[in-house]
Amino acid sequence: MYRPLAVSVIFLGLACNSGTKSASTSTTSSSTSNGTAVTGSDQQSNTTGALSGPNSTTEPSGTSYATNSGSATNQSASGTAATLAGGVGNGSASGSASASSRTAWPGKPNPSRVPNEMGRIMVLEYHLITDHNGDYARERGQFRKDLELLYDRGYRPVNMSDVLDKNLNLPKGLSPVVFTFDDASPEQFRYINNNGKLEIDPTSGIGIWLDFRKTHPEWNNKAVFCLLSGAQAGHNFFGDRGIQGQLSNWRFQKVKWLADNGFELCDHTLWHAQLSKYPDAFVQEQIARNLLAIDSAVPGYRVRSMALPQGLWPKNRALASHGSWTDPKTGKTVTYNWPVVFEVAGGPMRSPYDPAFNPGMTPRIQVIGNAIENTINSLERTGNAYISDGNPAVVARPAAGSVSTSVAVKK
């Protein structure tokens, strides 16, 4: 758990353009500038990845998939729509994209893999990208090897919003994979001041990602960053107060850079509070005030997901996906409502074409040891990997024997 950081911010809701942003926002104020005033009792802070918490949140039905730490299961039901009103306008769910509006993804087809668009999709969970491996840390060289492994095995990154919108028109034989990065640490995104010019540190997670993309042009800037805006140990929009050389006034710039360059932003609460410990009002404040901070960095941004700190649900589970908080100083109310809640574990998620797809309980794969390779091997051995047919108009389903496919019209 990260200790709350007492700083203050002016949250400005501004009208913005379309795309990933909503049409309008309203002005919301809190205190002063560049942070978030917070208080709380969870005092443990961490920069080495030694977070405590549950290792899994298993789901009781579906196929079991082996990872380095055992098997996990995945089950789902129906999800919820995403809207936000009252303080920050983050729009409403667009639903599935029409075939004509889906993105044409770059890449070469892989005819050796049999299409199956009812298969499972990996949602990978990273924390620190650093100089060692651990339960909450991935060594930099190993992170690069993860990217190479996925690329070579036919996986390409997509955002969770692409899954929601069924915008998975990859070339035939390729598979989507969703990356998530929790906690907004400098290890994920760090700047270097080079004679007055800010440059992305090539040893940070984003730096490694961008370097990999130079030689793998099919590797899009697609990943979900689940943000903290008020935690200590630098977990405050990727570093502040000189921690790892990161200045506080760089924080919003980093968040906006991610949004502007194709990555997706996700709520992870204000300072990583264990939501299961607290009353409903506190839970909603943690989530809503972090949403305000995201809106301050990227006015009008449409947040469509949140990640449960340590995988712990609030006592009232519905508050993870929708709720509201009223600022006692201004009287303004922020209401959040999104379709995706990321759990901490549970195996690969169902296809968005699967009637049991439930983004409100999205399982993830903790990237520890050989978890990625083991999951890929298990999915492909059982014929349960999502593999694109390259045709945005139909859903490919494997026929008997997995040497051919049947199709259904995509909706």
Sign, CA torsion 289/294/296/297? positive
Q: What is d(CA 106, CA 102) in angstroms, rounded to the nearest whole number? A: 13
Give the model confidence (pLDDT) of 34-67 as tens digits.
Answer: 333 333 333 333 323 333 332 222 222 333 333 3
Per residue in 275-331, pLDDT (tens digit) is 999 999 999 999 999 999 999 999 999 999 999 999 999 999 999 999 999 999 999
Residue 396 has pLDDT above 90, yes or no: yes
Region of residue 24 (left: phi > 0; alpha: psi -120 to 50; beta: else): beta
pTM for the full model? Answer: 0.76
Report how far apart, in Å, the C-alpha atoms of 175 and of each of 120, 154, 172, 297, 394 are. Answer: 10, 6, 9, 32, 16
Burial of 254 (0-12, 13-18, 19+ CB in 10 A): buried
68-107 pLDDT per residue, tens: 333 333 333 333 222 332 233 333 333 334 433 455 555 6
pLDDT average, residue stretch 161-181: 96
User: Measured between alpha carbons, how far is 338 from 307 in angstroms, rounded to an integer?
Assistant: 11
Tokens at residue 381, please? Answer: 């051995």
DSSP state of 121: B
pLDDT of residue 33: 31
DSSP notation for 86-104: SSS---B---SPPGGGS--
Q: Which residue has the higher pLDDT, 68 or 179?
A: 179
Of 344, 368, 351, 379, give the one whose Cα is nearest residue 146: 368
pLDDT 10s digits, 137-158: 999 999 999 999 999 999 999 9
Q: How many CB atoms lie within 10 A of CB 245?
A: 13
Angle at 11 between CA 7 and CA 15, to 5 degrees: 160
Kindly give the residue spans of alpha helices, DSSP state H, lying in 55-159.
140-152
User: What is the structure's pLDDT at 256?
Assistant: 98
CATH 3.20.20.370 corresponds to the domain 65-409: yes
Contact 363, 74 (CB under 8 A): yes
Kindly report the backbone phi and psi dihedral angles of residue 14, in degrees, each rounded to the nearest multiple of 5, phi listed first.
-125, 150
